[in-house]
Amino acid sequence: MTLKELSDLLGLSPTTVSRALNGYPEVSEATRKKVAAAARAHGYAPNTRARALATGRAMAIGHVIPISAKHEMVNPIFADFTAGAGEVYSRNGYDMLMSVVSDDDEEQAYRSFATKRNVDGLIIHAPSLNDQRIPFLNDLGLPYVVHGRSSNATAPYAWVDVNNTRAFQRATELLLDLGHRRIALLNGLEHMDFAARRRAGYEAALAARGVTPDPSLMFSGEMTEAQGHDLTRTLLARPDRPTAILVSSMIMAIGVRRGIEELGLTLGRDVSLITYDDDLSYFRNGSDIPVYTATRSSVREAGRRAAQMLIDIINGKDSPTELLLEAELTLGMSTGPARRD
């Protein structure tokens, strides 16, 4: 069913039918009602491609999903972020266009979005400290919102981020309050902006209490369960082993727990653990009492906010283009006072 067919059926011109459906005022109420009824009856919906061509707007947002070429790893938080963003998109009539790309050809993917003109805007994931995509996209002239920040960026850009520094600072402070002094940090890859900020928060908290950060207690890498496990085993085998561990992801924390328990130790008593928790829908941190003490911020909510911000930008609204969300620190069963050895 095309517009032409529908208008023939109604004995009206395509112009009038189009206007009736799109809510233009130059159409009588009676006609509008008739048109709307006929459209519903025949299940008419405008062909997106034709409309996009005519209006110059694709009504779609692009997401580029980079896959770590080395580890073939998909970012696990991506599904929940997507779900949040997707809610907002469908509420606003936008589609979501996804492009899966090995992280080497990421720039190519953006360029292709721009030249093929099949999206009205982009969401950028996982920015690094000095992310080249930002100047690149500023040149490209396609609106975008970054999920996260890029500390060394010089030009302004729109972003939604969590206060990673503060989250890790508070978590470290809590551990210090509990008497811990040897606190390990299992962080994400440090060229990632969020990881750098988390370490900064951790170091700031230590420094504020006069504890010198010990580089041999800090690690950064892919945030997998296996990695968490292996590092924990290594750490706990040391004579001067840490009494507490700060972890950058729930999935890694699960590996840490496994490592601890393999040694017959008890989480929260022998070793304390605080993890960052993205509040993933398939990995909720316990029901009543959280399993893990955690700094939590919903990545799904971040998805919603980023999507809304991008749509606002596309529509020329001048709402704020920077949004810093605070993570909450929830007390669970994985922390306790430092034990005297």
Partner DNA sequence: CGAACTTCCCAAAGCGCTTTGAATGCCTCA
Partner DNA sequence: TGAGGCATTCAAAGCGCTTTGGGAAGTTCG
Query: Site residues (CB under 8 A) for a second copy?
Result: 1, 43-50, 52-53, 58, 60, 65, 67, 71-76, 78-80, 82-83, 85-87, 89-90, 95-101, 111-112, 115-118, 223-226, 230, 251, 254, 257-258, 261, 280-284, 286-287, 291
Count of residues in the chain: 341
* Stretch near DNA under the rule CB under 7 A, chosen from 15-23, 85-93, 179-187, 321-329: 15-23
The answer to whether 241 and 217 are in contact (CB under 8 A) is no
For a second copy, the closer of residues 203 and 279 by Cβ is: 279
DSSP 223-286: --HHHHHHHHHHHHHSTT--SEEEES-HHHHHHHHHHHHHTT--BTTTBEEEEEE---TTS-S-
265 binds, among a second copy, DNA, none (CB under 5 to 8 A by kind): none
111 binds DNA, rule: CB under 7 A: no
87 binds, among a second copy, DNA, none (CB under 5 to 8 A by kind): a second copy
Rounded (10°) angle between helices 78-91 and 299-314:
40
For DNA, the closer of residues 124 and 142 by Cβ is: 142
For a second copy, the closer of residues 61 and 235 by Cβ is: 61
For DNA, which residue of 31, 68, 118, 163 counts as binding (CB under 7 A)?
31
Residue list 54-73, contact with DNA (CB under 7 A): 54-56
The residue count for binding DNA (CB under 7 A) is 27
Q: Which helix (H) or strand (E) holds 30?
A: helix 29-42
For DNA, which residue of 8, 33, 53, 141 counts as binding (CB under 7 A)?
53
Q: What φ, ψ does residue 15 adopt, rounded to 5°?
A: -55, -55
In the complex, the smallest distance separating the C-beta of residue 84 from a second copy, rounded to whole angstroms, is: 9
Exposed/middle/buried for residue 329 (C-beta within 10 Å: 0-12, 13-18, 19+): middle
In the complex, the smallest distance separating the C-beta of residue 178 from a second copy, rounded to whole angstroms, is: 22
Q: What φ, ψ does residue 61 adopt, rounded to 5°?
A: -115, 140
For DNA, the closer of residues 13 and 102 by Cβ is: 13
Place of tokens 């399993």: 291
In the complex, the smallest distance separating the C-beta of residue 298 from a second copy, rounded to whole angstroms, is: 10
Q: CA–CA separation, 296 vs 327, rounded Å?
A: 5
DSSP 68-104: BTTTTB--TTHHHHHHHHHHHHHHTT-EEEEEEEEGG
Contact positions vs DNA (CB under 7 A)? 2-4, 11-16, 18-19, 21-22, 26-31, 46-47, 50-51, 53-56
